[in-house]
A = this chain, B = another copy of it.
């Protein structure tokens, strides 16, 4: 018996939308405590790490652990049909091997999504020694990425004791974004050691779609290490985390 209810569908809709940009299939692990999902993208460059506790739901009934294999593109199509004010319910139909998604608003709309078989590979938790972290208004990072797209494919991200810095360069020009300590968009800055690494813009763009422009993104950096982006969800009770491998930066 699995029945999950949320007062609205926004959280689930946003997370599924962001995850579906990176991965095709997901195996959600449901336990009485909450839901977890971890997966790598097909090219093994990006990792999605999603967690939401039972307490983020208005109703959460999961008697014993279960895995739900989901085609994220299909689930995303369904979530896109949710209306802002709709109550949202997920129920497992074990007999038909389907997940029922119900939106209750002006009418009651029920979508039935076939479950798929997934291999549960337990992904190892990468141990990364980040040396710098910052909380940044999402819209500013999104702007820097869109700026970079004009001239190139990769963006160098840098955190120093004074600033957050994004740089894209190519033959057709260069773009840079600077956010200084004290600027309202740089909410928190904690730098043990300056860190810089270069990343693919398209991946970062897909990841930051999880956030509205006014949301906060927590960025963790280490020189030439993967970047870790954390989006707090359900008022910080859960989290959507992305890890992205760096590109080699030509000196």
Residues of chain A having any CB pair with chain B under 8 Å: 74, 77-78, 81, 83, 98, 106-114, 137, 139-140, 143-144, 146-147, 150-151, 171-180, 183-185
Tell whether, in the assembled complex, residue A150 and residue B109 are in contact, meaning their CB atoms are under 8 Å apart: no
23 contacts between A and B (CB under 8 A): A74-B172, A78-B150, A78-B173, A81-B143, A83-B143, A98-B173, A106-B137, A106-B140, A106-B184, A106-B185, A107-B140, A107-B144, A107-B179, A108-B179, A108-B180, A109-B143, A109-B144, A111-B147, A111-B150, A111-B173, A111-B175, A112-B173, A113-B173
Residues of B within 8 A of A171 (CB): 114
CA distance in complex: A77, B83 (Å): 32
Residues of B within 8 A of A173 (CB): 74, 78, 98, 111-114
A174 is contacted by which of B111, B146, B174 (Cβ under 8 Å)?
B111
Residues of B within 8 A of A77 (CB): 150
Residues of B within 8 A of A140 (CB): 106-107
A150 is contacted by which of B81, B83, B110 (Cβ under 8 Å)?
B81
**Nearest B residue (CB) for A100:** B174
**Nearest B residue (CB) for A81:** B147
Smallest beta-carbon distance A206→chain B, Å:
19
A107 is contacted by which of B112, B114, B178 (Cβ under 8 Å)?
B178
Smallest beta-carbon distance A102→chain B, Å:
9
Residues of B within 8 A of A143 (CB): 81, 83, 106-107, 109
Tell whether, in the assembled complex, residue A176 and residue B114 are in contact, meaning their CB atoms are under 8 Å apart: no
Among A107, A137, A175, residue most surrounded by chain B Cβ atoms (within 10 Å): A107
Tell whether, in the assembled complex, residue B81 and residue A146 are in contact, meaning their CB atoms are under 8 Å apart: yes
